[in-house]
Amino acid sequence: MPTLCKPTVSVPEHVITMEQTLDLARSVHADHPQLDLALRLIRNTGVEKRHIVRPIEETLLHPGFEHRNATYVTEAKARVPAVVRGALESAELKPSDIDVIVYVSCTGFMMPSLTAWMINKMGFRSDCRQVPIAQLGCAAGGAAINRAHDFCIAYPGANALIVACEFCSLCYQPTDLDVGNLLSNGLFGDGVAAAVVRGRGGTGVELQRNGSYLVPDTEDWIAYDVRSTGFHFRLDRRVPGTMEPLAPALQELAGHHGWNAADLDFYIVHAGGPRILDDLSRFLGVPPEAFRFSRATLTEYGNIASAVVLDALRRMFEEGGAPDTARGLLAGFGPGITAEITLGRWTDPEERELAAMMRERESLHVD
């Protein structure tokens, strides 16, 4: 089975705190008739700080979509290589060992995709496949894992690289007074992540089954309005309640695999906001502590879109991972409303080998 190895995650050096965000909202939108509502929604996100690619003074300006997108390209080329090298090192592979690159992003546009630049500049093979995904938003982190899993099943022994590059601050729209847009100004952060799915070997999550689910008639609940000024984020007030229809989809997929989604060992899910995590805990019937990795990402980095799932998984690795064969669920949620879901077991070949040696020693001692 393919194994999802330890991700590498990087966030930019510029930081904006919750209090700074609230102060900016008060000063920039002082006359907004729903300012108090926006401030309350921002406070309720629980996001203590976020990281952004440009200083806040520059971020608050809007030099035009062309300039913003050029910044996206420059920053992606500057920041992606380091996380890719880190992910390859964790998986004990070289660029030439990678057979497909799955690149996900919803905060800038390039054609050809950054994957072409990576192949030319970073030592990947010329026959390395490219799978850029641009329109799944926050769900794309889960989709990237699933498409890498599918590829490694279709081509046994192949290795896949996942890259998530999100600069949400480049979508800031100072003249957009929609309450959902004001909320996004206090929720989203910037981050870049990468991880390898090894076709054979590796320590991490052994990917066993994946699936997708779209909540009917919700395609306009999370959306972009694309205008001359760029991407304008739209968020329907009904979005926080989407875990009620999505939790059964997670349960159903787990049931098809012979598992109970309420009785797993670890959960790595997209942290769109605290309400999402609280509701998922309630509707799945699992303790809030089960989502501690996702909640930590939200608190420390904000919603970093498709990179959230990879960062939450990184945190699990850094806590020591899980016992060998522990069962878990990974899920990304985003526009559609779409869920991308993965089931897997923790695998640690070294721990397994050590346990086998201990059992052999015990049997020899008994004899």
DSSP string, 150-173: HHHHHSTT--EEEEEEEEGGGG--
The tens digit of pLDDT for each residue in 292-341 reads: 999 999 999 999 999 999 999 999 999 999 999 999 999 999 999 999 99
Q: For position 357, what pLDDT does the model report?
A: 55
Reported as a pLDDT band with limits 50, 70 and 90, residue 82 is: very high
| Calpha distance 59→61 (Å, rounded) | 5
Q: Taking the model in full, what pTM does it have?
A: 0.92
Q: Which of 5, 106, 128, 138 is catalytic?
A: 138
Reported as a pLDDT band with limits 50, 70 and 90, residue 255 is: very high
Give me the chain's average pLDDT, please.
92
Range 14-23 average pLDDT: 93
152 is catalytic: no
Has residue 179 got a pLDDT over 90? no
Q: Give me the helices (H) in 188-259, please.
A: 243-256
- CA-wise closest residue to 271 among 353, 189, 177, 182: 189
Reported as a pLDDT band with limits 50, 70 and 90, residue 75 is: very high
Reported as a pLDDT band with limits 50, 70 and 90, residue 30 is: confident
Range 225-254 average pLDDT: 90
DSSP β-ladder status, 204-218 and 336-347: antiparallel
> Which of the 8 DSSP states describes residue 290?
G
Has residue 32 got a pLDDT over 90? no
| Calpha distance 367→355 (Å, rounded) | 18
Has residue 351 got a pLDDT over 80? no
Q: Which domains does the chain have, with CATH numbers?
A: 3-198 (3.40.47.10), 204-350 (3.40.47.10)
- CA-wise closest residue to 351 among 327, 330, 325, 318: 325
